[in-house]
Structure formats: C-alpha cells, structure tokens
C-alpha cells in the first residue's frame, strides 16, 4: 500500500505502514541518526523546481532560489546544479552560495538593511543584482561601488500595495510595512538611481508576501509593476529585467495554492497581453521549492494525560520548528510507523520552557513513548530559523536521493554551542 500524505507529493508516503522519503524508511533513519532529525527528498525539490521550469519553457527567465527558506549547503548544491540562481539577504548567505558551488552572477541581494561591508563583498564577487529597498541605500551603494571603481547593478523593490491575503507577519507588499519603496515614489527614485555614478539600473522587483495561495494578488501586483515600468521608461530609465519575487504557498493543511506552472501560465498570458512577454524575467521562490520536500523526525518522550488536555511531549521543540510559535502555523504530524489502536487527542509539545512551545494542537494520534513522529512540511523556514534556545544543539539533517542517504549536517553538540564563549579569569 502506498498512501501519499500530501497530495502532489509522492516522495513522502507510507509503504506497508512505514513512512518513507523516496525509498528510505524514516524509522531506520531515526534509529541510525537519532532525533530530532530533518530529512529532505532531493526528488521532491527537483520536482517543485520542474514545475517552475515547465512554466517558463521558451522564456527568458532566471529562477533565484530564496535561500533563507533552507540554507543548508547540500540543499543549495541541489539547486545550483539544477541551474538556479539565489536570492540572498546577507553576506552569510552569499558565502554559503559560493561554498555550495553557486554562480555569483546569478545572485540577487535583497533586504532592507545591507551593510557597507556586505555590499563590498557582493561587489567583489560580482553578483547579478542588488534589490535596493530605499533611497538611502541607493546612495550608500553608489558610494561603496565608486570607492571600488565599480558600478553596482540595481533593481528597486517597489511596493505594489496589494493584499496577498496571508498572515500579517509574512505579508510584505502593503503600505505600512518596512519593505520596498512606495509605488508613488518609484519614478523619482529611479531617476535619482540613474543619476548616481556608482549604479547601473538593470531592473525592477517586488515581493508581496509569503504562503500566497491565490492567483489574484500576483495578477494585481503584476499590473501595478508593469504600470510602473511604463512610467519609469517614459522618464528615460530603461528597465532590463522584471523580478516578481517569491511567495507561492504550499499545502500545509488542505491549502490549495496553484501549481507553479499554472500560476505562471496566467501571469505570462498577462505579460504577453501587455507586450512584456519578451522581457528578461526573474523570480525568487523559497518555500514552494523546499517546504514539502522535508520532514522533521522526533521521538515521543512522554505522554502526559490531563484533565483538560493530553500532552504528547516530543524531543523536537520551538528551537527546531519555530513556525507554530511564531505564526501559529500548522504542520501535519504523522507516526513513522502506523500503530494499531485507538486514537487520543493530544497537544504535541516540545521540552522548551515556554508555553508557546507547541508543535501541534488537538492532534488525534495513536502513540506510545518511544515512537517516532514526523512533522511534515518542514523543509522551509524550520532548520534555517532554528536556534540554540534552552541550550539545545541544532538537529542533524539528511538528504535522501532515491535509496541513497546523505548525512548533510551533523547534530550540533552542546560543546559546539558554547565554543565561542569565554569565562573571565
């Protein structure tokens, strides 16, 4: 029996009562490598990427993986080898791209707070574009580039002011958040950018939010951006590429985002209709490339029955899986081996000393202490947001490729976590 837990994701499924990632049983990975343990499917990542590649077939388009979703070197290598560029938000991420064999010319640098040192490093290796988010940043970037005798390729992140209909913390394209420049101000800021000696204007970009499950916000944002391109070019500043950001959602809990190729069929139809079909396009998907390619395995430590709630206490916590605590996010939780018996309703919680340390509420499970659970949809914004809170070492990571198992990150020891600290004599 093969039973896919996530529609559209055949790579994580039960085979004869055993949850597998591709051809590998998760129970054996947990036994061999311990828990908490992140496990990623290479085929699932490449399949998510393939949906975008199909969508852009025959077009001039560059897919830049927004690596903050999952910045592990082996994950970056998978995307670099598949021809992706990278959307980075720090010099640390740039260093990771280079270490993983990524092409700096395909790197775009986003973020509201780039430091001079970060700009310098990015210019030294020759990144493809700086996605600039304010006038002040334009001025500093020009200065830094001039001091190095260079010109920085820039795009301005514009705020199309459309509501992506997602969680407020991951909605970024509305007035009143810190990202991008206001639609109304874009033309004068482009004129200013074009006048600065250290800059070369190459594009325009937007990113309206994350976990977007509808097409309409994208279509609206595209119209707003294309209106601006017309105005900016009329003001004498040519725009070479148009970057529509990332943000496409995944199925966490019955969410029904469009497939990437279906989304882009509609967006490309609009681009064609408005006469922009031949432009160089860029996109910055993060979550949709990795989110449903990963699970986090965790062992049940204790069952704690209570008057109002039963608790299932597991060895993974908010430091490993921060999304429930941060965004009240939902992750499916499934046993890696199906156990016969009646289900009980549990709140699945971690050992961290915070009431916010829950992983799933009111979950119906048939479990005993010692069982291993898989927290699904854990490929994006989990390990990359993991911390050492409560002096917990970060989890190990495995990349599965068919029947092959690669340990891509060792478990962090307690010693690792205090190596950089000093006791005053």
Ligand X SMILES: *Cc1c(COP(=O)(O)O)cnc(C)c1O
Give the residue numbers marked as catalytic.
Answer: 353
Q: Which one of residues 287, 323, 331, 394 is an interface residue with ligand X (CB under 6 A)? A: 287
By the rule CB under 6 A, 210 interacts with ligand X: yes
Return the bridge partners of 85, or none. Answer: 64
Which one of 62-70, 189-197, 225-233, 364-372 is the stretch in contact with ligand X (CB under 6 A)?
A: 62-70
User: Which range touches ligand X (CB under 6 A), out of 285-293, 299-307, 329-337, 347-355?
Assistant: 285-293
- Piece of the chain touching ligand X by CB under 6 A; list 186-194, 245-253, 331-339, 363-371: 245-253
CB of 151 to ligand X, least distance (A): 22
Cβ at position 307, least distance to ligand X in Å: 40
**x-or-dash pattern for ligand X, window 81-120, by CB under 6 A?**
------x----------------------x----------
User: In this chain, which residue has its C-beta nearest to ligand X?
Assistant: 286
Candidate segments 63-71, 307-315, 319-327, 383-391, binder of ligand X by CB under 6 A: 63-71
Give the 3-state DSSP-derived string for the chain, with helices as H, strands as E and coil as C.
CEEECCCCCCCEEEECCEEEECCEEHHHHHHHHCCCEEEEEHHHHHHHHHHHHHHCCCCCEEEEEEHHHCCCHHHHHHHHHCCCEEEECCHHHHHHHHHCCCCHHHEEECCCCCCHHHHHHHHHHCCCEEEECCHHHHHHHHHHHHHCCCCEEEEEEEECCCCCCCCHHHECCCCCCCCCEEHHHHHHHHHHHHHCCCEEEEEEECCCECCECCCHHHHHHHHHHHHHHHHHHHCCCCCCEEECCCCECCCCCCCCCCCHHHHHHHHHHHHHHCCCCCCEEEECCCHHHHHHHEEEEEEEEEEECCCCCCEEEECCCCCCCCHHHHHCCCCCEEECECCCCCCEEEEEECCCCCCCCEEEEEEEECCCCCCEEEECCCCCCCHHHCCCHHHCCCCEEEEEECCEEEEEECCCCHHHHHCCCCCCC
Give the position of tokens 């069929």: 265
CB of 289 or CB of 396, closer to ligand X: 289
Residues 163-202 that bind ligand X (CB under 6 A): none
* By the rule CB under 6 A, 285 interacts with ligand X: yes
Among 21, 66, 348, 352, binds ligand X (CB under 6 A): 66
- How far apart are CB 286 and ligand X at their closest, in Å? 3
Q: Does residue 72 belong to the site contacting ligand X (CB under 6 A)?
A: no
Instruction: For the beta carbon of residue 272, count every other beta carbon within 10 angstroms.
Output: 11
Contact pick of 102, 164, 203, 247 for ligand X (by CB under 6 A): 247
Q: How far is CA 194 from CA 146, 155, 236, 384, in A?
A: 14, 11, 9, 36
| Shortest reach from residue 34's CB to ligand X, in Å | 29
Nearer to ligand X, 287 or 363 (CB): 287
Pairwise CA distance, residues 225 & 171, whole Å: 17
Comparison of 169 and 418: residue with beta carbon closer to ligand X:
169
> Which of 246, 257, 324, 360 forms a contact with ligand X (CB under 6 A)?
246
Instruction: Tell me the number of residues near ligand X by CB under 6 A.
Output: 16
Pick the piece of the chain touching ligand X (CB under 6 A) from 120-128, 181-189, 242-250, 403-411.
242-250
Using CB under 6 A as the binding rule, whether residue 19 contacts ligand X is answered as: no
Q: Does 323 bind ligand X (CB under 6 A)?
A: no
Query: Judged by CB, which is closer to ligand X: 27, or 384?
Result: 384
Minimum distance from residue 367 beta carbon to ligand X (Å): 31
Name the minimum Å distance from CB 78 to ligand X: 16
Question: Does position 68 bind ligand X by CB under 6 A?
Answer: yes
288 binds ligand X (CB under 6 A): yes
Closest of 296, 318, 304, 297 to residue 368, by C-alpha: 304
User: Closer to ligand X at the Cβ: 168 or 306?
Assistant: 168
Shortest Å distance, C-beta 70 to ligand X: 9
Does position 42 interact with ligand X (CB under 6 A)? The reply is no
Nearer to ligand X, 11 or 86 (CB): 86
CA distances from 137 to 115, 130, 144, 189, 229 (A): 9, 10, 10, 11, 21
Query: Least distance in Å: CB of 404 to ligand X?
Result: 27
| Measured CA distances, 338 to 60, 261, 272, 361, 376 (Å) | 47, 35, 50, 20, 15
69 binds ligand X (CB under 6 A): yes
* Footprint on this chain of ligand X (rule: CB under 6 A): 66, 68-69, 87, 110, 207, 210, 245-248, 284-288
């Amino acid at each position: 029996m093969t039973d896919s837990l996530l529609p559209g994701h055949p790579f994580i499924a039960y085979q004869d009562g055993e949850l597998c990632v591709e051809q590998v049983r998760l129970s054996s990975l947990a036994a061999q490598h311990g828990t908490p343990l992140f496990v990623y499917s290479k085929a699932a990542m490449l399949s998510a990427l393939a949906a975008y590649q199909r969508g852009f077939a025959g077009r001039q388009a560059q897919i830049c993986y927004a690596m903050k979703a999952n910045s592990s070197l082996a994950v970056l290598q998978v995307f670099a080898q598949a021809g992706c560029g990278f959307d980075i938000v720090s010099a640390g991420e740039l260093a990771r791209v280079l270490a993983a064999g990524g092409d700096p010319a395909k790197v775009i640098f986003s973020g509201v707070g780039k430091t001079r040192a970060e700009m310098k490093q990015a210019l030294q290796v020759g990144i493809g574009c700086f996605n600039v988010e304010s006038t002040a940043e334009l001025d500093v970037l020009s200065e830094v580039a001039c001091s190095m005798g260079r010109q920085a390729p820039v795009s301005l992140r514009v705020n199309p002011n459309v509501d992506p209909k997602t969680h407020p913390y991951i909605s970024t394209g509305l007035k009143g958040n810190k990202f991008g420049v206001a639609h109304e101000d874009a033309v004068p800021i482009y004129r200013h950018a074009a006048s600065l000696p250290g800059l070369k204007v190459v594009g325009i970009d937007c990113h309206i939010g994350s976990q977007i499950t509808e097409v309409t916000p994208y279509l609206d944002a595209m119209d707003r951006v294309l209106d601006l391109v017309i105005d900016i070019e009329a003001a004498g500043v040519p725009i070479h590429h148009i970057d529509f950001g990332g943000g496409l959602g995944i199925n966490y809990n019955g969410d029904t985002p469009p497939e990437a190729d279906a989304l882009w069929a509609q967006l490309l139809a609009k681009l064609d209709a408005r006469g922009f079909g031949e432009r160089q396009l860029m996109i910055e998907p993060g979550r949709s490339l990795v989110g449903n390619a990963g699970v986090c395995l965790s062992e049940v430590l204790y069952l704690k029955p209570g008057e109002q709630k039963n608790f299932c206490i597991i060895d993974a916590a908010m430091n490993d899986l921060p999304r429930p605590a941060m965004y009240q996010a939902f992750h499916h939780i499934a046993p890696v081996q199906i156990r016969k018996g009646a289900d009980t309703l549990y709140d699945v919680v971690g050992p961290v000393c915070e009431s916010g340390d829950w992983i799933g509420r009111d979950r119906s499970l048939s479990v005993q202490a010692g069982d291993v659970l898989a927290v699904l949809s854990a490929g994006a914004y989990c390990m990359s947001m993991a911390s050492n809170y409560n002096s917990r070492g970060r989890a190990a990571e495995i990349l599965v490729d068919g029947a092959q198992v690669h340990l891509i990150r060792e478990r962090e020891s307690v010693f690792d976590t205090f190596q950089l600290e000093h006791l005053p004599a």
